[in-house]
């Protein structure tokens, strides 16, 4: 099966336009038809041994969101103390979540026992179930961007506190991603942490090695092709 040039470009456009949304959420609800498409996209992610280890916990109740927000504030205060000087001041000025503003919060979990103790493809890398769940997160995130729905990943949370709030009592269920979701007033043209001077995107050519770790010399270097494709795809 092949895709047209326009269809291929739409995929790249979605990837390059994806943003982590924090402060732009609108109160408009996400229709069930749209939310269903996003969950189906997530459920069609690749998973090792086809174990499909994810679950989707949809949170709409304000009381639950408030508890999660309080857990975030505690974790965020602890995180701020790990930075110093100007960086600490800049950190405290950043808005790093949209828990209360987003119409839907979604916790995506990984059931580490879903297929029993021995899973095809996981025998030597047991963490592959967690990586598979992250693939489901990315599927949902890209599908959401294509639907005009913003997503923000809140990682500044204590996992034990989150499990307690959400009443996840089973040890083998691991919260992987706590996501804020909703329609937005706008998407930023570039990642917010870049526009606010926290970090800039790295040059991809500096991240590529050839045949051996650390080897950047090769007769088949991609520097020129990377530059050309970046100009074409980001037009």
Are 221 and 197 part of one and the same domain? no
Tens digit of pLDDT for each residue in 10-32? 999 999 999 999 999 999 999 99
Are 112 and 215 part of one and the same domain? no
Contact 156, 76 (CB under 8 A): yes
Half-sphere exposure of 75 (CA within 13 A, CB side): 17
User: At 218, is the pLDDT very low, low, confident or very high (cuts 50, 70, 90)?
Assistant: confident
The chain-wide mean pLDDT, for the chain, equals 96
Are 172 and 92 part of one and the same domain? yes
User: At 219, is the pLDDT very low, low, confident or very high (cuts 50, 70, 90)?
Assistant: confident
Render 65-122 in DSSP notation, one character per residue: HHHHHHHHHHHHHHHHTTS-HHHHHHHHH-----TTTSSEEEEEEEETTTT-S--TT-
Q: Within a domain: residue 137?
A: yes
Mean pLDDT of 61-73: 98
Q: Within a domain: residue 4?
A: no
**Residue 127: DSSP 8-state:** T
Percentage, residues of the chain above pLDDT 90: 91
Report the C-alpha gap between 105 and 117 in whole angstroms.
31
What does the pLDDT read at residue 187? 97
Are 189 and 209 part of one and the same domain? no
Are 95 and 39 part of one and the same domain? yes
CA 74 from centre of chain: 22
Are 155 and 213 part of one and the same domain? no
- Which one, of 178, 68, 180, lies nearest residue 133 by Cα? 178
Are 134 and 215 part of one and the same domain? no
Mean pLDDT of 150-157: 98
User: At 235, is the pLDDT very low, low, confident or very high (cuts 50, 70, 90)?
Assistant: low
Are 135 and 150 part of one and the same domain? yes
Mean pLDDT of 59-88: 97
Are 227 and 190 part of one and the same domain? no
Mean pLDDT of 6-12: 95
Report the C-alpha gap between 133 and 120 in whole angstroms.
16
What does the pLDDT read at residue 220? 85
Are 161 and 211 part of one and the same domain? no
Domain interval for residue 207:
202-235
Half-sphere exposure of 212 (CA within 13 A, CB side): 3
Are 138 and 208 part of one and the same domain? no
Radius of gyration of the chain (CA): 20
Bridge partners, residue 150, by sequence? 182
Q: Within a domain: residue 109?
A: yes
**CA angle, residues 155, 57, 100, in degrees to nearest 5:** 55
What does the pLDDT read at residue 69? 98
pLDDT greater than 70 at residue 62: yes
**CA angle, residues 159, 160, 166, in degrees to nearest 5:** 85
pTM of the model: 0.95
Q: Within a domain: residue 104?
A: yes
Query: How many domains does the chain contain in total?
Result: 2
Are 215 and 136 part of one and the same domain? no
pLDDT greater than 80 at residue 225: yes
What does the pLDDT read at residue 227? 86
Q: Within a domain: residue 3?
A: no
Q: Within a domain: residue 2?
A: no
Q: Is 85 left (phi over 0), alpha (psi -120 to 50) or beta?
A: left
């Amino acid at each position: 099966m092949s895709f047209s040039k326009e269809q291929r470009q739409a995929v790249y456009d979605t990837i390059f336009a994806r943003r982590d949304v924090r402060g732009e959420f609108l109160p408009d609800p996400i229709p069930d038809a749209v939310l269903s498409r996003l969950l189906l996209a997530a459920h069609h992610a690749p998973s090792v041994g086809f174990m499909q280890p994810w679950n989707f916990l949809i949170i709409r109740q304000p009381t639950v969101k408030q508890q999660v927000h309080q857990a975030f504030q505690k974790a965020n205060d602890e995180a701020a103390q790990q930075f110093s000087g100007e960086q600490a001041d800049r950190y405290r000025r950043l808005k790093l979540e949209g828990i209360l503003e987003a119409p839907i919060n979604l916790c995506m979990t990984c059931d580490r026992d879903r297929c029993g103790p021995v899973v095809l493809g996981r025998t030597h890398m047991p963490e592959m179930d967690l990586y598979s769940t992250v693939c489901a997160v990315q599927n949902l995130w890209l599908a959401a961007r294509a639907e005009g729905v913003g997503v923000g990943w809140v990682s500044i949370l204590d996992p034990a506190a989150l499990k307690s709030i959400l009443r996840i009592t089973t040890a083998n269920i691991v919260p992987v991603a706590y996501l804020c979701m909703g329609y937005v007033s706008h998407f930023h043209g570039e990642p917010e942490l870049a526009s606010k001077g926290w970090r800039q995107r790295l040059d991809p050519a500096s991240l590529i090695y050839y045949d051996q770790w650390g080897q950047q010399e090769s007769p088949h270097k991609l520097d020129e092709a990377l530059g050309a494709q970046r100009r074409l795809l980001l037009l």
